[in-house]
Amino acid sequence: MVFYAYAISSTHTEEWRFIIAASSVEVMDEWYRSSVEDGMDHLKRKSPELYTYDYKKNYPYDFVYKEGKAANVKYSILFTLVHNAWSIFSTTFFNQFVPDHISGKTFYIRSKSNPRVFWNLSGGTVFASKAARTRFRITSRGVSRGEVILPQDRITISAIDSKALKESTIHWKPDNTFVADAPDAAGGPQVPQGPPGSGSLGHPYPGYVPGAVSEFTFADFKKNLLARGKDVEEADALVSWFTDGGEEWELCN
């Protein structure tokens, strides 16, 4: 789904206004973070749909066409100069719901195909449910808190217990469940990448040392996690790992 944003100059807001079209909000986030890391330190993210920059130093697209990290999105993003403030014409766009993928924030996690289904921590295990939901903190291991999260970032997920006022790190276990506060595996915190569907229904991943892991990639929400078990209506469908066979999950505030 194409995602749109505005970019306006922070030093001269009447002119040099752009509409940015990206192939997804994740591509928009990558353009922003990569441009800043490449040297466009005056580029600021006000929201997923609004950015400011200093047109006397750079235009929003400058680093996309240079050698650097931002060049990775060159063919997935488009910049269009729009009318000045005094124009009688208006240029606008309509976006769908989009979460603000910021490291350290808390979110609900819900199914994109069925937005009534949420992740819920019950009895120390993560279930998919229509009956209850839990807030989770998503933290990128590679950037400072408050920065945008990109699909390739390694993340940790922690559950917020609103009753006990407790925060618990979520781990994946070889029995293919996600649980709170299990010990990390000795081999390092990384989910094994076996063939599609490997490790489901309690069968261990090939060559993997039994244990629990607490780091994932943000992209795993797109393709590697699904609800399995009895019924989401009764809150007893386990959230499990299924390599390249999962459904898409999204964060919501």
| pTM, full prediction | 0.77
Tokens of 86: 């005094």
Alpha-helical runs (H) found in the chain: 25-38, 220-223
83 — pLDDT class (breaks 50, 70, 90):
confident
Q: Where are the domains of the chain?
A: 3-81, 106-252
Instruction: Choose between 179 and 211: higher pLDDT.
Output: 179
Percentage helix, strand, coil, to 5, in the chain? 15, 35, 50
pLDDT number for residue 253: 84
252 contacts 107 by C-beta, under 8 angstroms? yes
Q: What are the pLDDT digits (tens) for 110-149?
A: 999 899 999 999 999 999 998 899 999 999 987 889 999 9
pLDDT number for residue 19: 93
How would DSSP label each residue in 152-180?
TSEEEEEEEETTTTEEEEEEEETTTEEEE
* Distance set, CA 25 to CA 4, 19, 238 (Å): 8, 14, 28
Rounded Cα distance, 247 and 239, in Å: 11
pLDDT number for residue 196: 41
Is the pLDDT at 203 greater than 80, yes or no? Answer: no
- Of the listed ranges 88-102, 104-118, 178-192, 199-213, the least confidently predicted one is 199-213
* CATH code for the domain defined by 106-252: 2.80.10
